Copies of this chain bind each other. A is one copy, B any other.
């Protein structure tokens, strides 16, 4: 079983390497009749693309996306949607010096160990460039979710020690894109940006946390017992480059709470909708969405490429020194925001369709 597909009913397959001809994605299972919006796909790619601001990698890729199939007269046909992005600014020479060396905490060694033959240029397939395909597919998932009243919003809530201590209800989402760092609290964003600039000056990198909320999700998404909604969200998010942790609702902080504090009491609101007073569950109970906001947080480690000499070995196992050249991000967080949103949107679209089976379970049986 190869691993380049994700999802069951809304299913994507990605391809392409950092310095190859192109990257792209095939989306199979997108419902027919959806108004397609290539500009929106491009807009999402622009949020992820390199060179967009002073605090990200200066590789210049316009990430111009081309649609190859699946749309007729402006609407999806239910057939596979293929999207293509050609690589433009691939400076492969930047990487010849590490052709036979393993950069610490990169995938060079593990790919070599697994496949015995690898495209070392820019990390090849292991490069975060692959996530452009995810963002393109995620944009289409977002179009589908929007039609069904569901939105996915992420932001940077921590860079190193600089933390945004607010719940999503306290934030103004319109400010997320106001700064290159994608933290909606502008004062905190300024501190984060300063830290990133300083770290870059030192030839170093820094990690952080992305927070995300899914709003408008109806109850019922998630398939017991293994394909719980938050388990699939966790897998989706953990498959993003540099991600080291995932927590939903109360997460790791919840381990010190008592059940009497943590339990979310039910009530019926003024519209007759069953809701919970608190939301420590993060919108998922028993692996199924309960109609409340779905909230999760994601830990990203510092980027592995640093401009400092590091101890390592080469393919012969001999001791060598490795120093990062290549263009890279001092902090992955700002560009991780659209990627987190994309992966979450893909999970939600997939489970939205899977849940239709359950509705059939109830209503679809004729007597």
Contact = CB atoms under 8 A, between A and B. Distances in A.
Interface in A262-293: 262-268, 272, 274, 276-277, 280-282, 285-291
B310 A262 contact: no
A31 to B, nearest CB: 4
B245 A246 contact: yes
A339 interface: no
Nearest to A158: B255
Contacts of A152: none
A15 B81 contact: yes
A50 interface: no
A71 B268 CA distance: 30
A30 to B, nearest CB: 8
A251 B260 contact: no
Interface residues of A, number: 160
A160 B362 contact: no
B208 A354 contact: no
Contact of A79 (B15, B67, B239): B15
Contacts of A6: 226
A8 B4 contact: no
Nearest to A275: B313
Contact of A259 (B109, B115, B234, B305): B305
Which of A67, A239, A268, A272 lies at the interface centre, i.e. has the most chain B CB atoms within 10 A of its CB? A239
A288 B149 contact: no
Interface in A55-98: 66-70, 72-73, 75-82, 84
A48 to B, nearest CB: 15
A185 interface: no
A258 B70 CA distance: 33
B82 A15 contact: yes
A1 B1 contact: yes
A259 B13 contact: no
Contacts of A126: 224-225, 286-287
Interface in A328-367: 353-358, 360-362, 364-367
Contacts of A106: 285-286
B67 A361 contact: no
A166 interface: no
Contact of A107 (B260, B262, B286, B353): B286
Given A31-B360, A238-B231, A258 B15 contact: no
A54 interface: no
A109 B4 contact: no
Contacts of A291: 113
A227 interface: yes
B23 A69 contact: yes
24 contacts: A4-B226, A15-B28, A20-B70, A31-B357, A77-B117, A78-B361, A104-B264, A105-B262, A105-B264, A107-B286, A109-B285, A110-B219, A110-B287, A116-B362, A125-B225, A130-B225, A204-B260, A207-B262, A244-B251, A254-B301, A257-B302, A262-B302, A262-B304, A268-B313
